[in-house]
Amino acid sequence: MAIAQNKNKEFRQQTWTAYFNQTRLSDKWGLWADVHFRLTEDFTNRLGLSIFRIAPVYYVTDQTRISSGYAYITTHNVDPIPDLPEHRLWQQVQWFDKKQRLSLAQYFRVEERFRRTLEAGELSDDYTFSWRFRYNFAITIPLTRKTIAPKTPFLFLNDEVHISAGKNIGNNYLDQNRLFGGVGYQFTAQLNAQIGYLYVFQQLAASNTFVHTDAIRFFVFHNLDFRNKE
């Protein structure tokens, strides 16, 4: 006789903010950095997660880029539960393609996650290790021009799938899916911002709990180029 487990549902309201920077240092090399702050409990009541990520970038071409770096993540808990740190190594390939009246962007990312554990409500010296594989597909559609240019508003749509792996992963191999739709504005050739609605569906590790997150997402993208223009 098969016995079905009860599925628990959890609903969250959050606000995700982030700043992304890609700095081109030469024809082949650059730097990647991004910073995230995620507010939770009715969108703004407290800080739930922070991320600091950095990596060198190798430009195979202007449209294909490879990164490999480090990230430090903190899950901010409510007293008396201590905050949980995570160290993360990551590798990524990005592809960009400009079509008529839209631009496409994709990346495939591999993460090695070292997450601190709790023991009797206190931080232990142990870490759990797992892999995560992420695929992101994004479409940018200019609204007032044929291409993205300074002073251009645009629509932005993207979906990202997360797959987890490793001996510490239970049944949640399909870790989460993030679906976003919003609008943005290209202020200059180097700077744009986006705001919109993000829906996240996630299964928590080692549990039968499914999380549905409604989030406001506000991201700023800043690209710098220090190459000699002569």
Q: What is the pLDDT of residue 2?
A: 42
**pLDDT reading at 119 higher than 90:** no
**pLDDT reading at 81 higher than 70:** yes
* CA pair distance 105, 91, nearest whole angstrom: 17
Q: What is the pLDDT of residues 209-224, one digit of tens each?
A: 899 999 999 999 999 9
**pLDDT reading at 1 higher than 70:** no
What topology does CATH give the domain 9-188+215-225? Answer: Porin (2.40.160)
Q: What is the pLDDT of residues 23-42, one digit of tens each?
A: 999 999 999 999 999 999 99
Domain edges within the chain: 9-188+215-225
* CA pair distance 37, 72, nearest whole angstrom: 12
Task: Please tell me which residue, 4 or 16, carries the higher pLDDT value.
Answer: 16
Q: What is the pLDDT of residue 112?
A: 98
* CA pair distance 212, 201, nearest whole angstrom: 5
Contact assessment for residue 97 and residue 135, using Cβ atoms and an 8 Å cutoff: no
Q: What is the pLDDT of residue 29?
A: 97
pTM of model > 0.85: yes
Give me the chain's average pLDDT, please.
Answer: 93
Q: What is the pLDDT of residue 13?
A: 97
Q: What is the DSSP string of 22-73?
A: EEE-SSSEEEEEEEEEEEETTTTSEEEEEEEEEEEEEESSSSEEEEEEEEEE
Cis peptide before 80 (omega within 30 of 0): yes
**pLDDT reading at 5 higher than 60:** no
